[in-house]
A = this chain, B = another copy of it.
Amino acid sequence: MSQLQPAAVKDGKTAGKKIVNEFCMTFSTINGSGSATANTILLRSLFRMGIPVSGKNIFPSNIQGLPTWYSIRLSKKGYLARVEKDDIVVAMNPATISTELDFMVPGAVLFYADDIKVDLPREDIVAYPMPVRKLIKEAEVQPNLRDYVANMVYVGIVAQMVGIDMNVIYGTLDHHFKGKKKAVDSNWAIIQSAAKWAQENLEKRDRYFVEKMPPLKDVIMVDGNTASALGSIYGGVQFTAWYPITPASSLAETTIEYLPELRTDPATGKATYAVVQAEDELAAIGMAVGAGWAGLRSMTSTSGPGISLMGEYLGLAYYAEVPVVVWDVQRVGPSTGLPTRTAQGDLTQIHFLSHGDTQFVILLPGDAKECFEFGWKAFDIAERLQTPVFILTDLDLGMNTHMVKRFDYPDRPMDRGKVLWEEDIQKLVDEGKAWGRYLDMDGDGIPYRTIPGNRNVHAAYFTRGTGHDEMARYTEDQHSWENGLNRLKKKLEGNKQLYPKPVVEKMAKAKFAIIGYGSTGPAIQEARDLLAEKGIPTDFLRIRSLPFSDDICDMLHAYDRIYVVEMNRDGQMRQLLAMNYSDCGAKLHQVSHTDGMPLSAEWIFNTILALEEEK
């Protein structure tokens, strides 16, 4: 075994400067080896030390045996986006170590399992071997747990070398294993012995340190899918039909996890909800539309391929005016694409989903807190407007753990929309008023609906995706058709007060504006700081819904140049903006890119800078 001798840092420029709480560590492992626990322990421990952190998991589309990376970024300044370079690499996978070296900054640190042959070509890297096998052997671990325990070795060594508080690690372990003593103890033992080994055998020759910071107030760590699931539950979801698909599965699975606790009748133990795993996405959306029609707060969650199968039913829901909420946790397409990578590539598809003239409300949460918030609001909007509402997140937002402000309990009562029950219908009848399922009684484009189970003899109507008049009767009449379709447009565009408004952040003397949405917010914010440092202040408009808010129009007119930043090839949001605001099209510039990785501030900064220079 070629044992690599620790090299001294040779990079004169950076040597000596201590780097505290502002760096990125990447753990390179093999999936299926159980490294998730180790990484989570480290992430949460840093978080508990008050350090702003974010974790990004880059994993393959298989179950076991392929390279996987987990990056933890610490940023005392609070930047949470992905960075493209690593400061510290923990290498447990011999297959990828040479790639990792390419991404390491000068002065970076390499921890590596000492049974990996490392041919270190760079002198500017500090390398520490880790005697993983030896420590496991000493720990007398059962053979089937060895791979798993190996990961705890790096937890101990890294913690020791960068200075993570061991008590905090213990607390995190306890939290992680929900106090199960045996699990906590066995993991703790190996972490401790690894830390001890490091203390005794490794001399600190690098510049990276972590230090406790003041507690982060009202901040939690959570993944977007959990936030979405909880948002749905606090929104009163009654029916979910879903079909497994990465990266959406954990959204539905988390509802299954929390619903029994949060939504059963305490007296009888009976459920106020139902979750059905459908046989496919055609069925999932069919069931969800059925349930929405029958008066339930109904939803489904899926990813791109699922959306591509749901078009026909969503067109029906749009035209027959059925409320339903659809989560799209986006991954990289087209086709099966990169199922375990992130993108924002489904926007135009969804905007134009289904044949004929359709239109869909789309909500675009920017972080886990908004996943929760839009989760409950989406039901209000869907039921108020009697229409499908999409919520688009992505793999990065959905599956990675993020630091975010704690969720606020809904600040308003549920809006179940215009529903007529027995008494309501009877009252109309008694007053001699004609009710029609598709009659615009209030002039806002939104009719009143009844719900199956309403036993009033006048309540029933027949729902169909074929032409119907205001009284829900079948018709092929030209005017009924056109009026009906125009009312649908009015319904969605005339009630924009219901949709989340864009968030605007300004800098004094901004030279131009940046538009973004969804998970790319943190990278854009950081890029703006970089631009500002270069003397280019910018304003930022984060779009949170479609149809577009009227504010956007004003904003667009206020700037000469607007860069639309997004994570797809075609600049899909830019396309939609150009289409909607024809007179502003020329000043909307595409800043888009998709390779499966979350956007970095660096890329945004460089791209915009280049475009600015070109102009």
Q: How large is the interface on A (under 10, 10 to 19, 20 to 34, 35 or more residues)?
A: 35 or more
Contact with B along A280-319 (1 / 0, CB 8 A): 0000000000000000000000011101110110011011
Residue A481 contacts which of B61, B330, B595 (CB distance < 8 angstroms)? Answer: B595
* Closest Cβ–Cβ distance, residue A281 to chain B (whole Å): 9
Of A168-176, A187-195, A204-212, A350-358, the one contacting chain B is A350-358
Besides A319-B337, A351-B352, A578-B578, 10 more A-B contacts (Cβ < 8 Å) are A61-B466, A61-B476, A305-B315, A308-B315, A309-B309, A330-B355, A337-B356, A349-B358, A357-B568, A575-B579
CB-CB under 8 A for A335 and B486, given A307-B355, A597-B478: no
A444 within 8 Å of B (CB atoms): no
CB of A447 closer than 8 Å to a CB of B: no
Asked if B315 contacts A335 (CB within 8 A), the reply is yes
Residues facing B in A531-570 (CB within 8 A) are 568-570
A445 at interface, CB cutoff 8 A: no
Is residue A52 contacting chain B, with contact meaning CB distance below 8 A?
no
Residue of A320, A352, A596 with highest tally of chain B CB at under 10 A = A352
Does A131 belong to the interface (CB within 8 Å)?
no
Q: How does the 8 Å CB contact mask read for A46-85 relative to B, with 1 for contact and 0 for none?
A: 0000000000000011000000000000000000000000
Bound CA–CA A593/B478 (angstroms): 11
A435 to B594, CA, bound (A): 27
Q: Within 8 Å CB of A308, what residues of B?
A: 311-312, 315, 353-355
Chain A residues 558-609 with CB under 8 Å of chain B are 568-570, 572, 575-576, 578-579, 581-586, 588, 593-597
Instruction: Report if A231 contacts B (CB, 8 A).
Output: no
Q: Is A348 an interface residue (CB 8 A)?
A: yes
Q: Is the CB of A479 closer than 8 A to any CB of chain B?
A: yes
Q: Which B residue sits closest to A478, measured CB to CB?
A: B595
Once the chains bind, are B337 and A305 in contact (CB under 8 Å)? Answer: no
Query: A315 vs B485: C-alpha distance in the bound complex, in angstroms?
Result: 29
Interface locus among A12-20, A141-149, A338-346, A521-529: A338-346
CA distance A464 to B338 in the complex (A): 11
Question: B337 and A569: CB pair below 8 A?
Answer: no
- Say yes or no: is A467 at the interface (Cβ < 8 Å to chain B): yes
> Can you spell out 21 A-B residue pairs with CB atoms less than 8 angstroms apart?
A60-B476, A305-B315, A309-B311, A316-B334, A316-B336, A319-B337, A334-B357, A334-B358, A335-B466, A336-B465, A338-B467, A340-B476, A346-B356, A351-B352, A357-B568, A478-B597, A481-B596, A482-B594, A485-B594, A575-B579, A582-B585
| Contact B596–A586 (Cβ < 8 Å) | no
Quick check: is A359 within 8 A (CB to CB) of the other chain?
yes
A304 pairs with B355, CB closer than 8 A: yes
Closest 9 CB pairs of A and B: A333-B356, A304-B355, A582-B585, A335-B465, A334-B356, A478-B595, A357-B569, A585-B585, A308-B311
Q: Does chain B have a CB within 8 A of A489? A: yes
Q: How far is the CA of A316 from the CA of B578 in the complex (A)?
A: 28
The chain B residue sitting closest to A320, CB to CB, is: B335
Q: Is A222 an interface residue (CB 8 A)?
A: no
List, in ascending order, chain B residues with CB within 8 A of A346's CB. 355-356
Contacts A356-B343, A597-B478 given; does A337 touch B465 at CB 8 Å: yes
Chain B: which residue is nearest A570 at the CB level? B357
* Shortest Cβ gap from A590 to chain B (Å): 10
Select from chain B the residue with minimum beta-carbon distance to A312. B308
Contact call A359/B570, Cβ cutoff below 8 A: yes
A332 within 8 A of B: yes
Q: Within 8 Å CB of A353, what residues of B? A: 308, 349
CA distance A319 to B308 in the complex (A): 14
Would you give the shortest CB distance from A338 to chain B, in whole angstroms?
5
The complex places the Cα of A464 from the Cα of B485 at a distance, in Å, of: 40
Given A340-B476, A485-B594, A595-B479, the answer on whether A335 and B349 have CB atoms closer than 8 Å is no
In the assembled complex, the CB of A573 is this many whole angstroms from the nearest CB of chain B, namely 11
Instruction: Assess the B338–A319 pair: CB atoms within 8 A.
Output: no
Q: Which residues of A in the span 337-393 have a Cβ within 8 Å of any Cβ on B?
A: 337-341, 343, 345-346, 348-349, 351-359
A596 to B466, CA, bound (A): 12
The reply to whether B318 and A312 contact each other, CB–CB distance below 8 Å, is no
A582 touches B586 (CB 8 A): yes
Q: A466-B336, A579-B578, A579-B579 are contacts. A596–B357 as well, Cβ < 8 Å? A: no
For residue A588, which residues in chain B have a CB less than 8 angstroms away from its CB? Answer: 582
**Residue among A61, A308, A478, A597 facing the most chain B CB atoms (10 A cut-off):** A308
**Considering only CB atoms, which chain B residue lies closest to A307 in the complex?**
B355
Give 1 or 0 for each of A77-110: 1 = CB within 8 Å of chain B CB. 0000000000000000000000000000000000
* Complex Cα–Cα for A330 and B357 (A): 12
Complex: how many Å from CA A575 to CA B569?
19
| A335 adjacent to B316 (CB under 8 Å) | yes
